[in-house]
Structure 1
């Protein structure tokens, strides 16, 4: 059996910062140095089969021969919960380490990365209880349901925006199941040993330019046709997949709610807001080592650090 290595590299940063290509370059260099390396995806949208263009999913060629895990594992009708992805990612990390490979954990929001890397426990779920609260959300709307949450737990309501229907439903479900809900995140404590986090930084104007160019490229590559093809496969019924940036706006275009140009511009605006939110959450983590995206010598620095630790 291969020796187990404790080194785990986590690459994070906002949308369009180049995480996926950097991960491949780092993994290839590690392999060239005689150290196996594998990439574990924790982006909740890359898990969906058929959602390729709008998620900027790396193609087989772009993966550069490096093993990738947790890509194309769910149908669009399935839900990629944080708790599910946590379990899958931790299993993939352990399996890679069991083969003597250095895992590179890449992508996703700060919540998903922390759920995988940190001592982060989720209360259980009950499909019937969840469905009942989701039906209530559909009936009364997010703000009215938020008022119900405020009655049940003022502390939880204070931490959850009135328009965030999914978090309100989850809070009410947990309160019903356990009697309480803790809306704050746990302390910055790694559950897994050997974790080193690298963050990709870039000026806001550069990030905005990259996002705009990426959305334009998605449209040119056929995002609208991709969404059309996913509708018969249940995209509209998928609670998570149908809300993905780009897909939601294209669905609005197909439904006549937006023109195609309006859908494209709405995708750009939504992605820019999401990227800023991502960066804001990552900035709160004092353990992340920040470097300029595409900075000279970055691959060599990360590889040298990983080899020294493993």
Structure 2
């Protein structure tokens, strides 16, 4: 059992998590551990706002750039990798907005197996009919799971139905609880919604200016469009549709902003459900000191 807590910096996209994590690591002699599912992919730099080496300020960063864009993301695989790093680092600072990845790293979360035949059959049905009929089936078999899975999230619906068929148990039986395997301190960055919407629009503008379209074009040569996870990432999926002639560049830009704002709301909702997260204003002048006070065991505030 580790004595020092795992520090996690969480919250919605564009809240400033990466910079705070580096500040904390510098002060405590820590090392950053990625918990952003898309920053795991090599070459997906501009569109994921990945820190540059200069912005890392000498702090070791783990689990960035480990998968090719053709690899399908696996939370179970990430869990193994993250825990190996956490066990090896004195002061791990987990940072990212992928809620399930954060929970996989620090909580008692098990992943049921898979069955290629069941998965293939369900995915073929998804391609044929869309997510609607599959979602209705999920609602009949596991209403609690249907209540927390978006009706449009075909990949998640397929996974839930696969687990139900494979295990004979509700998918909700495998969903995360708040039972930790490591002591942890979780700091959430709170941004008022109008400000967050503005920050997201500005971030997407900067990504476009920094060469997101060229980045996507280069990654297409490495199989991005065939990647079942990377190819659907925010920004990347929209630029692909532009480059394939389906959308104008303006449409791709506007959809990236719109969908990123929607995604940020889901991120915040996910982390708000966890009573262990200490929420601090993203723009507090003493944000680092308040974070360190929380880490040292003082009340959240």
Gaps of 5+ in 1: 32-36
Mapped contact 1:11–1:23 kept (Cα < 8 A): yes
Q: 1:68 aligns with which of 54, 61, 69?
A: 61
Q: 1:211 aligns with which of 200, 207, 225?
A: 200
Secondary structure at 1:216 match in 2: helix
Q: Deviations over 1:30-74 (max 9, x none)?
A: 23xxxxx11110100000001000000111111111111110000
Mapped contact 1:153–1:180 kept (Cα < 8 A): no
Secondary structure at 1:258 match in 2: coil
Mapped contact 1:5–1:102 kept (Cα < 8 A): no
Q: Deviations over 1:252-300 (max 9, x none)?
A: 1112221101110110011111111111121111111111113122212
Q: 1:25 aligns with which of 23, 32, 51?
A: 23
Secondary structure at 1:9 match in 2: strand
Q: 1:273 aligns with which of 222, 243, 262?
A: 262
In structure 2, distance between residues paired with 1:174 and 1:73 = 27
Deviation at 1:304? 4.6
* Residue in 1 that maps onto 2:234: 245
Mapped contact 2:141–2:170 kept (Cα < 8 A): no
In structure 1, distance between residues paired with 2:70 and 2:81 = 18
Deviation at 1:191? 1.7
Change (3 A) 1:210 1:150: closer
Deviation at 1:201? 0.6
Q: 1:77 aligns with which of 70, 75, 79?
A: 70
Secondary structure at 2:172 match in 1: coil
Secondary structure at 1:62 match in 2: helix
Matches within 5 A, 1:151-170: 152-153=141-142, 156-170=145-159
* Residue in 1 that maps onto 2:135: 146
Aligned residues, how many? 297
Change (3 A) 1:150 1:207: closer
Q: TM-score, normalised by structure 1?
A: 0.89
In structure 2, distance between residues paired with 1:308 and 1:156 = 35
Deviation at 1:157? 4.1
Change (3 A) 1:241 1:5: same
Secondary structure at 2:47 match in 1: coil
Q: TM-score, normalised by structure 2?
A: 0.92
Deviation at 1:153? 4.4
Deviation at 1:112? 2.0
Deviation at 1:154? 5.1
* Residue in 2 that maps onto 1:34: none
In structure 2, distance between residues paired with 1:144 and 1:160 = 14
Question: Does residue 1:46 correspond to 2:39, yes or no?
Answer: yes
In structure 2, distance between residues paired with 1:305 and 1:154 = 38
* Residue in 1 that maps onto 2:120: 131
Change (3 A) 1:157 1:296: closer
Secondary structure at 2:221 match in 1: helix
* Residue in 1 that maps onto 2:9: 11
User: Over aligned residues, Cα RMSD in angstroms?
Assistant: 2.0
Change (3 A) 1:111 1:202: same
Gaps of 5+ in 2: none
